[in-house]
Amino acid sequence: MRIAVWIISALLALMFLVAGGLKIVGSAADLEAMGEGIPTVLFRIAGIAEVLGALGLILPAATRILPWLTPIAASGLVLTMIGAAIANLATGAYSVVPQTVLIGALAAFVAWTRFGTHAIAPRPQNAPPVT
């Protein structure tokens, strides 16, 4: 199960890095065409949230420095996907709603496992030097 959580986390991180990065560096014209009335600034905010969430899925768990941030990042990505599903419904992009729900469910799975039975233990503190 641990391997499955790592694989799902890595795939989600890759997907959110690409999707978020495109929203951050994309031109305003491209974002307006994609958004169908949604303000461009919301796409930029979502992109920043997605990139930070992607980094939070992997870095704290992999380094074991503040690993409790990993399930929080996954939970934040669930909220991001809820917002994306609402935006998709509002703009009439019904065909991408199942994809959005699936990605949100995978992020929820990572949050649930990292909060629970497959939580990552913090890195042990260095022992004080012997003098």
Q: Which of 3, 43, 1, 15 is nearest to 107 (CA)?
A: 15
Residue 129, pLDDT score: 60
> Residues 81-110: what's their mean pLDDT?
93
> Residue 9: is its pLDDT beyond 80?
yes
Q: If residue 102 lies in a helix (H) or strand (E), which one and from where to where?
A: helix 97-115
Give the pLDDT band (50/70/90) at residue 18. very high
> Residue 101: is its pLDDT beyond 90?
yes
> Residue 127: is its pLDDT beyond 60?
no
φ and ψ at 130, to 5 degrees?
-90, 130
Terminal CA-CA length for the chain: 43
> Residues 36-40: what's their mean pLDDT?
79
